[in-house]
């Protein structure tokens, strides 16, 4: 995407191993010259499994709080883990709201932009629900 000019205003490099992306010292020891070593703001992974491993490592070993969003649907979908606490769930909901607000602003400034997505709301399950779940 950077080569095609779709990403502007950022310094991009990679692929880099995790240690080389977050530690300038590790990159220097390995003679890797990169303008982002030790200063990476965004870490991208090749697939869902790798992303899940990275997120869990950051959460459990570094005390990070994550938020998850699935993009590409008509509405942003908050994606959380069953083990996530309230902070991660709220962060995911807020990220979805920010995306909706951004899309609305885009549409307001450019009528050709498709209508903005509305945040999806799920109805809570009723305790008296007699339907059988499979």
Q: Spell out the domain ranges in the chain.
A: 12-44, 46-121
User: Which residues, including other chains, have CB under 8 Å from residue 19's CB and lie 6 or more apart?
Assistant: 26, 27
Element (H, E) at 77: strand 77-78
> What pLDDT score does 122 carry?
45
**Within its chain, how far is the Cα of 85 from the centroid?**
17
Element (H, E) at 53: helix 48-62
Q: Indicate the pTM of the whole model.
A: 0.58
Name the 3-class secondary structure at 69.
strand
Token pair for residue 124?
């809570």
CA 122 to CA 60: how far, in whole Å? 29
Q: What is the DSSP letter of 112?
A: T
pLDDT (tens place) for every residue of the chain, 134 residues total = 777 888 788 888 888 999 999 999 999 999 999 999 999 988 888 888 998 899 889 889 988 888 888 888 888 888 888 888 898 899 999 999 999 999 889 888 887 766 544 444 444 444 444 444 33
């Amino acid at each position: 995407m950077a080569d095609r000019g779709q990403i502007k205003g950022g310094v991009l490099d990679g692929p880099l191993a995790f240690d080389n992306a977050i530690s300038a010292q590790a990159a220097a020891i390995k003679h890797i010259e990169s303008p982002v070593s030790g200063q990476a703001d965004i870490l991208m992974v090749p697939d869902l499994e790798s992303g899940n491993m990275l997120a869990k490592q950051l959460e459990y070993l570094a005390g990070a709080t994550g938020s998850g969003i699935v993009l590409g649907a008509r509405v942003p979908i908050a994606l959380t883990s069953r083990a996530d606490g309230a902070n991660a769930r709220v962060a995911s909901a807020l990220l979805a709201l920010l995306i909706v607000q951004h899309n609305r602003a885009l549409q307001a400034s450019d009528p050709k932009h498709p209508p903005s997505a509305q945040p999806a709301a799920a109805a809570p399950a009723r305790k008296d629900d007699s339907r059988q779940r499979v």
